[in-house]
Structure 1
């Protein structure tokens, strides 16, 4: 099974580029999209159906939104946490596909301080408890994928001394993320690439992608059992290093599993 996570920064704006990527460049079984920025009724279902994908969508108008598209069907699907506070914004969709539980997350961006910053920290605490209460952490096959909006360590940003204290690289955010991982989640990219930065996001301004001035904020995190079945994981730059059509500011992360 090949699983990809991709913050598309508007599925409708990126649709043609994504379809071309899927038909010309890669073979992906399960696609997890974040920041689709549309309601379910406006998602381009037909375009994905035409190339073999069934899609489940949890969206909202103009902001946020997540979707999972699968060539392997769905054993079950859950949209949202069923929690009033953390479902105000559409940030979580969960599916079981070929025996694997996949949780697709678009974590809050946050702020330097104030309510948005507090909400981001609370979101990670809630997500940690949700997973602890939902799975046997030692034995179940599951993964958490998506745009986490946090870079873990100095290697995960292009210039740590410049970025330290900015959104996505503040100490309390990173501590919250490490606490989340401490339940037994494996950062698969870092497992396979201990010395490669693996950036997944670059600012649109000033050609940052061409100068490799990015951050690693998109992840595939797995349970111990699923980690043992991962064969490879990489950042696919094909959709990002483009001028036309306009790319997302993120690149997809693609992992292959031998199940």
Structure 2
């Protein structure tokens, strides 16, 4: 089974920059999108053989998540019960026979860190939600988690320490998630591999590979034995993020 996740930074723009080609080429069983920035009436991409689940933000042109799935889920849940983040369309949970697939777009702390406190609340409440799901079956979490966990996950770690996405607080919350019984699949499989999933549009960052690893597949520890590979498609353009994949 193959799962793919991609922060498309606006599906309407990404559809013009190669999303359909990659979608059909990668041939995933489930394809999760973050930062869709659109309502259903605003784009026309309905691949044959897939069910579609879109959770747009109430604010137009902002945030939003989506799942395309070949297998119809047993259940689908939009949001997780916290109105501040559910109003922004930040998560979808699809229940399958053997696991929950959760895609999320974690709030950015903002350049001035004005949303860091809110981000901390999201981290705690969302982790509690994932652990509640785990009481029934394992969880596969994917998406733009908006944090570079360790120095290996970011170019120029020293210069970027304390910036949004690489604050001590955000990194510690990701550690708490892992300590609570989850596995960062890519880092577990490739402890020393340097791969990034996001690059600024400034300063030729992508050409110079001056990036950050912000996108993850994280799984319940008791499900990690099912993971065959964790992939980074860093040659795929169309967004300031690249897609990532998980093979089960």
TM-superposed deviation, 1:97:
3.0
Structure 1 distance, partners of 2:98, 2:52, is: 18
* Contact 2:78/2:86 (8 A) holds in 1: no
* Contact 1:103/1:143 (8 A) holds in 2: yes
Q: Determine the structure 2 residue equivalent to 1:36.
A: 36
Moved more, 179-188 or 34-43: 34-43
* 2:228 aligns with one of 231, 235, 238: 231
Q: Determine the structure 2 residue equivalent to 1:158.
A: 155
* Contact 1:140/1:225 (8 A) holds in 2: no
Distance 1:102 1:168, change over 3 A: same
Q: How does 1:1-259 map to 2 (within 5 A)?
A: 1-16=1-16, 17-23=18-24, 25-44=25-44, 47-50=45-48, 52-60=49-57, 61-111=60-110, 115-136=114-135, 140-240=137-237, 247-257=238-248
Distance 1:186 1:231, change over 3 A: same
TM-superposed deviation, 1:112:
5.2
* Contact 1:200/1:235 (8 A) holds in 2: yes
| TM-score when normalising by structure 1 | 0.89
TM-superposed deviation, 1:38:
0.9
- Look up the SS of the partner of 2:83 in the other structure: coil
TM-superposed deviation, 1:115:
4.4
Name the Cα RMSD after superposition.
1.6
Structure 2 distance, partners of 1:196, 1:114, is: 29
Q: Determine the structure 2 residue equivalent to 1:244.
A: none
- Look up the SS of the partner of 1:48 in the other structure: coil
Distance 1:248 1:65, change over 3 A: same
4+ residue runs over 3 A deviation? 112-115
TM-superposed deviation, 1:98:
4.5
* Contact 2:7/2:242 (8 A) holds in 1: yes
Distance 1:43 1:223, change over 3 A: farther
User: How many correspondences in the alignment?
Assistant: 245
| TM-score when normalising by structure 2 | 0.93
Which structure 2 residue ranges, 5 or more long, are not aligned?
A: none
Which structure 1 residue ranges, 5 or more long, are not aligned?
A: 241-246
- Look up the SS of the partner of 2:123 in the other structure: helix
